[in-house]
Structure 1
């Protein structure tokens, strides 16, 4: 019995997709609706373009520019159904996904639950730091930054001012580098105009990275360029050292040194989101172990794609990087296989094609690793802009982002620095 109130698929098979990120949405789009009834379930009713969360957090873009309603892209497709709910577990015996709104049966199940913030066992940091894995967390971080600036106007002494205007970013991957660069741009070009009473020479941006170099997934050339550019823009880099604790107002590093601050932004790592009901042997290092067809170990009709999938092969002995391109390519290959034939013997194996990596360091600065070509600077920055504009879902969103970025480039300012506090309402309270 399908108590989630989804129409019976008739002669079609039902493909249930858990998670509407890069992989899940791409699979939903590419799956043949003449052959499958596609049911996408997600905790949010919209898609989120994760690479630009930091732009929302630093008031460079509005949240709606990087978000897109799941239903909008399928308005004319009667074989697509979306349910905003949370998948609790999978009953593999009865081929049912149990959710908080009821049970959803499946013929094929694709798990694309993505990743969450990794605190590396130090869960106390979850309550005291700010993460950046969703639009809502982006808005919370934006509020934290703006609130700090308002509080700085009322600082009672120099020590308190330094505490308020110190920002500690933990994690030297692409997000940490991009967030640091964006804050440095704000410090130089925008904030002095908004807050002329504040001496922004006292503002400090600390980037703490436990790995031996920034952008560790990219080339050494990209790492060196990123570090050099950030230092030139005033960012203080703490390299090869981890955060031990944060007990307000001090961040303690592993070497015993302390940074006084109220603002700690944790972008240090990711951990895959698991789902109950699958056998423990299906997991490897927290991710779902899959074969070359993205089938979860031990299951014929359950697949995993994107960040939560771990495909170990001769070419990828440690698995693939948890990036958007892997998720999209996995989804496309799985869709082609499912669309082509029910005979799994005819399916094609997944092979990842690395199209390169880009990371921005702020205005007119970025680094690029594109095959044998490794470069940085102005051209890499413009390339980063166009790649991200073309990757955003929805023409309206692309135009909106383009306009905001052009306006910001011309006058060094986008008027999106709004401190909006949510009002509690019993409507949001779960029964």
Structure 2
């Protein structure tokens, strides 16, 4: 029990996950009389909003990751354990992990979110995702590997399938990676692959809803659509992907887009943990919490960040899965834990919306602020850069990211195009390090047999 954690006269707070929420909470309680134990399967904090830049070669992985132990160096009430959480047991106040059991006085679940494939097994089996640094590095390698393969193909249909990239999901991640890929097609790939006719390469963004960037204003949605179209991205609204197999992304029973590169950015589920009462977990795997982020029916157990489902009058479907929500919840929970330590009742959480933004490409971004304030273009792009630069953890990461962005801006180039770790879909694993599907087959090869190729309408 307790995996060699020291005994303490102070109550033990166990935080599962060191994303935006878990990191912020542990920092906020730095000077409080509490023993903080953070459990995470990685030994680094990952800045997820910039994963797409790792995937497209704009940033290296260590620019958006920072060692957890280094973040908390010198914080005497902090302890870290590298482990996978297998189950929680609220009755015995125990967290079961692959390295042993850890007891707690207070438990905070900050496990974030996982990719939601909406039950489409062929997509889960074969599509690429960008929820983690390994995902992003795999995607980067896979795209460039397919360009190398395209050079060797005489069959135009096989070559087309290797060049085409389909991005599914018109949220910020889908929009941002589509714009980044379009810029790469225009400025980077012609230098590396002069033998290929890159005018034939299609970047297709597929969105099941009627607009891109659903939570943002109509003006931002229209601006983002216009930017992408000017970059040559084919945007298909009100279109869903039904299956992805044999290097075909089917958007109806018979119509498909030939591609070996399908990037799934269409949705997320909460990362709820086994052991919680079924009534506390929603259909999309988020955990129901009350207005002070306590799990319903479980005193002393809290959930914050993407995994927490807090329903309010303004947000009947729950607060959005955004970093500012997670950080504000962490700050507020720290405040309430201090109140509980004094025997005072907790105070309800109120989310302060400071605005949302999305970048499309260089000098092209959209920003929505409270009170219907909207701006875009170069000023929006600078705002996006500044906010994300300031949010990065670690001075070195801020400096490196700034230098890389400045270099890319003035040279219209992305230097990180190395295939260091070749990727095969047979090796694809989920975020827990297990096989994404037990029946994973060999990497599918494009087969030009009937039905005939069906490309999207212009």
TM-score normalised according to structure 2 size = 0.90
CA RMSD of aligned residues (A): 1.6
Counterpart Cα distance in 1 of 2:108 and 2:31: 16
Counterpart in the other structure of 1:184: 182
Counterpart in the other structure of 1:103: 101
Query: How far off is 1:344 after superposition?
Result: 5.7
Counterpart in the other structure of 2:324: 325
Query: How far off is 1:341 after superposition?
Result: 4.1
Counterpart Cα distance in 1 of 2:158 and 2:195: 16
Aligned-partner SS, 1:243: coil
Aligned-partner SS, 2:263: strand
Counterpart in the other structure of 1:420: 420
Asked whether the 8 Å contact 2:173–2:265 carries over to 1, the reply is yes
Asked whether the 8 Å contact 1:241–1:255 carries over to 2, the reply is no
Counterpart in the other structure of 2:393: 393
The correspondence for 1:282, drawn from 280, 283, 295, is: 280
Aligned-partner SS, 1:291: coil
- Can you list the C-alpha shifts for 1:226-246, whole angstroms capped at 9, x where unaligned? 111101110011101110111
Counterpart Cα distance in 2 of 1:158 and 1:292: 58
Counterpart Cα distance in 2 of 1:217 and 1:144: 31
Change beyond 3 A, Cα 1:244–1:388:
same
Counterpart in the other structure of 1:57: 55
Asked whether the 8 Å contact 1:27–1:335 carries over to 2, the reply is yes
Runs of 4+ in 1 over 4 A off after TM superposition: none
Query: How far off is 1:339 after superposition?
Result: 2.6
Counterpart in the other structure of 2:208: 210
Unmatched segments (≥5 aa) in structure 1: none
Counterpart Cα distance in 2 of 1:79 and 1:223: 46
Counterpart Cα distance in 2 of 1:126 and 1:290: 29
Asked whether the 8 Å contact 2:30–2:77 carries over to 1, the reply is no
Query: How far off is 1:137 after superposition?
Result: 0.1
Counterpart in the other structure of 1:369: 368
Counterpart in the other structure of 1:158: 156
Asked whether the 8 Å contact 1:16–1:40 carries over to 2, the reply is yes
- Can you list the C-alpha shifts for 1:263-320, whole angstroms capped at 9, x where unaligned? 0000100001111111112123321111111000001100000011011122322110
Query: How far off is 1:262 after superposition?
Result: 0.6
Counterpart Cα distance in 2 of 1:385 and 1:344: 43
Query: How far off is 1:157 after superposition?
Result: 2.6
Counterpart Cα distance in 1 of 2:292 and 2:422: 44
Unmatched segments (≥5 aa) in structure 2: 428-432, 435-458
- Can you list the C-alpha shifts for 1:114-136, whole angstroms capped at 9, x where unaligned? 11000001122111000110000
Query: How far off is 1:52 after superposition?
Result: 0.4
Query: How far off is 1:254 after superposition?
Result: 3.2
Counterpart in the other structure of 2:140: 142
Q: More displaced, 27-36 or 220-229? A: 27-36
